[in-house]
Amino acid sequence: MINKPGFLTEPGRPGIKSVPPPASLVEAATLLASDPARAEEHALAILKLRPNDPRALLILGSARRRRGDPAEAHRILAPLAKSHAKAANTHYELGATLVDLGRTAEAIASLRHALTINRELPEAWRVLGDQLFREGEIAAAEAAFAEHLCASIQNPVLKAAARQLADGLTGEAESALRAYLIAHPVDTEALRLMAETLLRLERYADAEVLLAHALDLDPGDDGARFRYAEALFRQQKAVEALPLAEQLLKKKPGDPAYRNLLAACLGLIGEDARLSEIYGLLSADYPKQPRIWLNFGHALRTVGKSNDALEAYRRCIALDPGLGDAYWSLANLKVNNFTPEEEATMRAQLARPDLGAEDRLHLHYALGKSLEDRGDYASSFEQYRQGAQTRRQQLPYDADATTALMRRSVELFTPAFFAERQGAGFASKAPIFIVGLPRSGSTLIEQILASHSAVEGTRELPDIGFLARDLGWTTGDAKNEAYPGSITSLDNRALAALGRSFLERTQLHRKLGRPFFIDKMPNNFQHLGLIYLILPEAKIIDARRHPMGACFSAFKQHFAQGQAFSYDLADLGRYYREYMELMAHFDAILPGRIHRVFYEDLVEDTETSVRRMLNYCGLEFEEACLKFYQNDRSVRTVSSEQVRRPIFREGLNQWRNYEPWLDPLKEALGPALENWRGG
């Protein structure tokens, strides 16, 4: 903005025409961005001739700020702004100078004053957004960033679409932009804006394509690069996103959005020490920013610092009492009960009519946990029910699509099918897959195995799902019959390539160099046929728990992503029943290939279950596997604190406290309620 001639023009008094600046002033203004020292020289030369020229003083003040002398810049700009109350650019420059001086409240006031004079100052909106973010004013900061987007655009058609986007009219913005791009397919500004719209619609793969195209057209566009990295991250493509985040940070090392993106990518690849360090620095730089404290808490929890995580979450709540995720994160620590004061605060926040759905559902789950801890099960269930209902509205689930996938798998994967592909796949014994329903003991099994000297625990890896998606798998369309039938088009060489690809994609998670590693994505049971074909020597462990215990534990858990089936009791029962039927099918056609671990047996007779599991994996027994709670490895699931303690029996039958309200679950489970050990 400030390297254009418009930097020198300010709204004049009514009836008085503005006078164009002399060429020397225009040249000085143009130099500000690239060479502030020369711009200062020009300004000083002009001031020798015209000592009180406000335009030359503005350039001089801006140049001094840009050269790292905000105190001197303030000495020039403060009186200039006082004498020119309607000079928007002068008040913007003063605001930016006050930012550099650390006088945040004054900076915000000056920037807001500049924008009341002229709303079309994109850089002023951006700096204002940064300062509001620093002060923890999230909604106001997001509004400022939206205005920055609008003010940055000059094309009237695109500006109108940007305004629709800022007003939450994403559908209208998408329609307008789609029509515009048909006529202007290489307009990078339109591509970026359409990508921004798609990101807000959570269509990350589509946004990725557009942003990659925009960067091909304009490789120097860091705004597109940042959004491209975010689109990749949202698809858990951390390997691709990470170098983009690091490239951005080289240019702007202190940018909080870039630092946060880098931290998020590091979290996906398990760089936990570096992740904690970044959030520690961010929380020091932005102590009033509740979401930084929230993310810092998550990072601390992952590495087992539960007390520090608890303190971070409480700092977050103190800054923003309506941030539901902080309460739910506290509840998920499972190391403390809510105080009466905290429970009262949660109820007060839920009574707010303006509370957003995301905060509301988290508060319902957290309050449900608080009420459960003190034995008020009827009220607790109602809170869980309301949280699940809200989440279900956000995350629709098509049970018929799951049923259709299960049936196609049973029809396709037969003994004859596998016999025809004898010798297919990539020969590696390294992967150990733990599958099943969430909340069935998979994290405990992983912790036990990862305590063995030959096994490395990683996380719930998305890569099998990515491979299935590339073969036509979708999670929400009962009519899509591409997968797993698409596997029939793959010859043995292609299947081996997929197995090799899985090992290559997951290599970055294997930081200890151990011969075996664990992928504990529970939903991978839907892809057992694919896993067996591409990695025929992999071990597969089915973590199974009593259906009422597993399903109700999932129902009262808000998952960070996925598990759309878990927010309705009837859907949960149907899902468990079909999971059991599919596992029984693979037991029949691939006898002995899958090892089943019953959570109840693991709790009641830990050593026997552990020895059997190690024997199945071809591993010698090690005492450390029975002392798994002493393993200080990072754990990312909601059971992180439980697996850092010795096994306890209290959780086995917690569902019975809620039995009066679980009839829909029982009905949906049907025969699976009785024969769950047999499949």
Q: What global pTM score does this model have?
A: 0.83
Q: Does residue 39 contact residue 31 with C-beta atoms inside 8 Å?
A: yes
Q: Where in the chain is the domain with CATH 3.40.50.300?
A: 402-675
Predicted confidence band of residue 337 (pLDDT cuts 50, 70, 90): confident
pLDDT confidence of residue 630: 80
What pLDDT score was predicted for residue 12? Answer: 42
At the fourth CATH level, the homologous superfamily of domain 198-344 is: Tetratricopeptide repeat domain (1.25.40.10)
The arrangement of strands across the sheet holding 455-459 comes to: 455-459, 516-519, 431-436, 539-544, 594-598
**Is pLDDT at 42 greater than 70 in this prediction?**
yes
At 22, the pLDDT band (50, 70, 90 cuts) reads low
Mean pLDDT along residues 137-150: 91
Q: Among 100, 135, 129, 101, which residue's Cα sits nearest to residue 287?
A: 135
Confidence of residue 601 (pLDDT cuts 50, 70, 90): very high
Q: Are 317 and 338 in contact (CB under 8 A)?
A: no
Buried/exposed code over 447-470 (b: 16+ C-beta within 10 A; e: otherwise): bbbbbbeebbbbbbbbbbbbbbee
User: Residue 454 and residue 513: Cα distance in Å, rounded?
Assistant: 9
Q: Which residues pair with 594 in a beta bridge?
A: 540
Q: How far apart are CA 290 and CA 317, in angstroms?
A: 7
Residue 97 has pLDDT above 80, yes or no: yes
Mean pLDDT, range 275-281, rounded to an integer: 91
pLDDT digits (tens, 9 = 90+) for 628-646: 888 665 555 555 455 555 6
Round the average pLDDT of the chain to a whole number and report it. 90
Q: What is d(CA 655, CA 551) in angstroms, rounded to the nearest whole number?
A: 9
Which of these ranges, 60-64, 272-276, 593-597, 598-602, has the smallest mean pLDDT?
Answer: 272-276
Sign of the torsion angle spanned by Cα atoms 191, 193, 196, 197? negative
pLDDT digit string (tens) for 195-250?
Answer: 999 999 989 999 999 999 999 999 999 999 999 999 999 998 888 999 999 999 99
Residue 598, classed as helix, strand or coil, is strand
- Decide yes or no: CATH 3.40.50.300 for domain 402-675: yes
For residue 474, give the 3-state DSSP assignment.
coil
Under 8 Å between Cβ of 298 and 332? no
Domain limits, CATH 1.25.40.10, in the chain = 5-152, 198-344
Task: Determine the 3-state secondary structure of 276 from DSSP.
Answer: helix
Query: Binning pLDDT at 50, 70 and 90, where does residue 1 land?
Result: very low
- The kind and range of the H/E element at 247 are helix 238-251
Closest CA to 175 of 187, 185, 165: 165
Q: What is the mean pLDDT of residues 397-426?
A: 94
Section 552-557 average pLDDT: 95
210 compared with 8, residue with greater pLDDT: 210
Q: What is the 3-state secondary structure (H, E, C) of 603-628?
A: HHCHHHHHHHHHHHCCCCCCHHHCCH
Class of domain 5-152 (CATH, top level): mainly alpha
